[in-house]
Amino acid sequence: MAFNGHQHDNEIVDEDETPSKLPRCNKEMHGHLRNDPQNEAAAPAGPSTSDRWASNATPRHRKDSVKKTRPPFPWFGMDIGGTLVKLVYFEPKDITAEEEQEEVENLKSIRRYLTSNIAYGTTGIRDVHLELQDLTLCGRKGNLHFIRFPTHDLPVFLQMGRNKHFSSLHTTLCATGGGAYKFENDFRTMADLQLHKLDELDCLVRGVLYIDSVMSSGPSECYYFENPTDPDHCVQKPYLLENPYPLLLVNIGSGVSILAVYSENNYKRVTGTSLGGGTFLGLCCLLTGCSTFEEALEMASEGESTRVDKLVRDIYGGDYERFGLPGWAVASSFGNMMSKEKRESVSKEDLARATLVTITNNIGSITRMCALNENIERVVFVGNFLRVNTLSMKLLAYAMDYWSKGQLKALFLRHEGYFGAVGALLELLHPS
């Protein structure tokens, strides 16, 4: 999501949630809570704000809240974005025989369906490599699964929910992203499900901080590129995100949101841009006739953007020394395409590559300016635009390093696009 220019100032409010009630959860979750931003700079005061929080209040009255301190299974967190739906599912592995007996058939069937497949229908995919095993969540041990499917296939998903009688499980479905609002009615009418809607940025921040905190074994969640300005020696290296604040969190989905995170419960939305993953894919589809993100990336990896872009050296014959601009820098994205002959000589791959470079560099520029304005040196890039997109990650790493003369560090997270959904799951387990 990218909504331009609105800030999101969060008041630092006392956390007077009652950790004693939730002894086990609290250990894992402490600090990942975000309080109600009562004094919202950008949000209008009045009905819309209070409505939102009124609807949030409902899950607090779950009957098991005092006795068992955790909601019934299944545990889902959902993030319905402009392009993709991201779903995280917690599969309990410590089910006792007694539980097994009590467990209704529907629940079993859902668990079996999700965990025994890696693809669902024609477009649903489980990112097996991201699965978090032996995770303790709210006192339960299990695996966390990461699933995605295109937002336009949401009706299929709802139909499946209906067929599997999901609503009979009386679960609370925590959902974030714009789709939680847009499709709320569809969830109710098509699948008889009541959504618990959550703010996407709250969920995002919460999800990032949580995943980073639990990833102690296995591959490091956070990584960076060493020697970003030297293509031959540019390698991915783990990064220990200890004491991460302040950090700039750049979420590149269909659009881009940039957040400044100052502590676990204090962040603001600095700005955003509408030139994001959706723009890359949208332009690629129009320019090359491709239809999927993977296809577009594949083409981009084979193309040459310098045939499409006009570089500084195309204008000045070399560096523009007076202003310290290197000859290889892009002077005008798609600038060569002003000429008819050059339009006719470029390949689709070149165009895809140029689109990727244009969008990525632009995100880099805006991010760098935000980092300067906010006086933050660490930037974490997340979002599904970066999925299998090493090209963009290296470009971002390069841009941050080069233009800031080494001042800025670009960091990346393995679960790039799933943090909103994780945040939504955390809300289910430990409502703020």
Partner 1 sequence: MAECGRVDSHTMDKSITLPPDEIFRNLENAKRFAIDIGGSLTKLAYYSTVKHKVAKVRSFDHSTKEAASDKLYEISVQEEVTARLHFIKFENAYIETCLDFIKDHLVNTETKVIKATGGGAHKFKVLIERKLGLKVDKEDEMSCLIKGCNFVLKNIPHEAFVYAKHADSEFRFQTTDPDIFPYLLVNIGSGVSIAKVESEDKFERIGGSSIGGGTFWGLGALLTKTKRFDELLQLASKGQHSSVDMLVKDIYGGSYGYLGLTGDLIASSFGKSATADKEFSKEDMAKSLLHMISNDIGQLACLYARLHNLSRVYFGGFFIRGHPLTMHTITYSINFFTKGEVQALFLRHEGYLGAIGAFLKGAEEDNPNQYSWGENYAGSSGLMSVSPDMYPMQRARSGTFDMLEMDRLDRQLVNLPLLQEPSSYIPDTVDLTEDAPAREYWLFCFEDALDGVVKRAVASQPDMPEAAVRAEKFRQKYRHKLQTLRYQPFAYGSLTVRSLLDTREHCLNEFNFPDPYSKIKERENDVALKYYQKVVKSLEELSWEDRQFALVRGVLAGNVFDWGAKAVSDVLESDPEFGFEQAKRQLEDNSGVDIILGVMPLVRELLSRGTEVVLASNSGPALNDVTNGELQILTERIAAMDPVIQSGLRDDRLTLVQNGSSSPCLDLSRLDKALAMVVRERKTDLVIIEGMGRAIHTNYFATLSCESLKLAVIKNSWLADRLGGKLFSVVFKYEVPAGKPSQEAAVLTP
Of residues 203-242, which lie at the interface with partner 1 (CB under 8 A)?
A: none
> Site for partner 1 (CB under 8 A): which residue of 358, 360, 384, 392?
358
Q: Is 361 in the site for partner 1 (CB under 8 A)?
A: yes
Q: Is 372 in the site for partner 1 (CB under 8 A)?
A: yes
| CA quadruple 188, 424, 124, 279: dihedral sign | positive
Rounded to whole angstroms, the Cα distance separating 248 from 377 reads 8
Q: Is 268 in the site for partner 1 (CB under 8 A)?
A: no
Pairing of strands 119-120, 84-92: unpaired
Rounded to whole angstroms, the Cα distance separating 109 from 75 reads 14
Q: Which residue lies nearer to partner 1 by CB, 26 or 271?
A: 271
Q: Which residue lies nearer to partner 1 by CB, 112 or 188?
A: 188
Give the position of tokens 């949401």.
154
CA 27 to chain CA mean position, Å: 24
Rounded to whole angstroms, the Cα distance separating 322 from 331 reads 15
8-state DSSP, 325: B
Q: Is 343 in the site for partner 1 (CB under 8 A)?
A: yes
> Site for partner 1 (CB under 8 A): which residue of 22, 25, 110, 330?
330
State which H helix or E strand residue 86 sits in.
strand 84-92
Helix, strand, coil percentages in the chain from 3-state DSSP, rounded to 5: 45, 20, 35
**Cα→Cα distances 171→86, 189, 308, Å:** 18, 16, 52
Q: Is 83 in the site for partner 1 (CB under 8 A)?
A: yes
Q: Which residue lies nearer to partner 1 by CB, 169 or 325?
A: 325
Q: Which residue lies nearer to partner 1 by CB, 223 or 334?
A: 334
> Site for partner 1 (CB under 8 A): which residue of 278, 383, 417, 420?
278
| CA quadruple 144, 150, 366, 402: dihedral sign | positive
Q: Is 26 in the site for partner 1 (CB under 8 A)?
A: no
Catalytic one of 28, 200, 264, 427: 200
User: Which token pair is 172?
Assistant: 């609370």
Rounded to whole angstroms, the Cα distance separating 426 from 176 reads 12
Within 10 angstroms of residue 360's Cβ, the number of other Cβ atoms is: 25
| Window contacting partner 1 (CB under 8 A); options: 42-50, 56-64, 115-123, 241-249 | 42-50
- Report whether 7 contacts 239 (CB < 8 A): no
Q: Is 3 in the site for partner 1 (CB under 8 A)?
A: yes
- Report whether 419 contacts 203 (CB < 8 A): yes
What's the one-letter identity of residue 379?
Answer: V
> Site for partner 1 (CB under 8 A): which residue of 77, 150, 207, 431?
150
Q: Is 364 in the site for partner 1 (CB under 8 A)?
A: no
Q: Which residue lies nearer to partner 1 by CB, 12 or 372?
A: 372
| Window contacting partner 1 (CB under 8 A); options: 48-56, 114-122, 140-148, 406-414 | 48-56
Q: Is 310 in the site for partner 1 (CB under 8 A)?
A: yes
Q: Which residue lies nearer to partner 1 by CB, 4 or 117?
A: 4
> Site for partner 1 (CB under 8 A): which residue of 8, 70, 196, 206?
8
| Window contacting partner 1 (CB under 8 A); options: 64-72, 88-96, 327-335, 393-401 | 327-335
Laid out side by side, the sheet with 409-413 consists of 235-238, 222-226, 409-413, 378-382, 247-252, 256-263, 266-273
Q: Is 323 in the site for partner 1 (CB under 8 A)?
A: yes
Q: Which residue lies nearer to partner 1 by CB, 197 or 430?
A: 197
Q: By CB under 8 A, how many residues form the interface with partner 1?
A: 82
Q: Can 200 be counted among the known catalytic residues?
A: yes
User: Which token pair is 363?
Assistant: 């995100």
Rounded to whole angstroms, the Cα distance separating 30 from 265 reads 11
Q: Is 161 in the site for partner 1 (CB under 8 A)?
A: no
Q: How far is the CB of 350 from partner 1 (least distance, A)?
A: 11
State which H helix or E strand residue 148 sits in.
strand 140-150
| Window contacting partner 1 (CB under 8 A); options: 69-77, 91-99, 363-371, 416-424 | 363-371
Residues 373-432 that bind partner 1 (CB under 8 A): 373
Q: How far is the CB of 425 from partner 1 (least distance, A)?
A: 20
Residues 84-143 that bind partner 1 (CB under 8 A): none
**What are the residue numbers of the active site?**
200
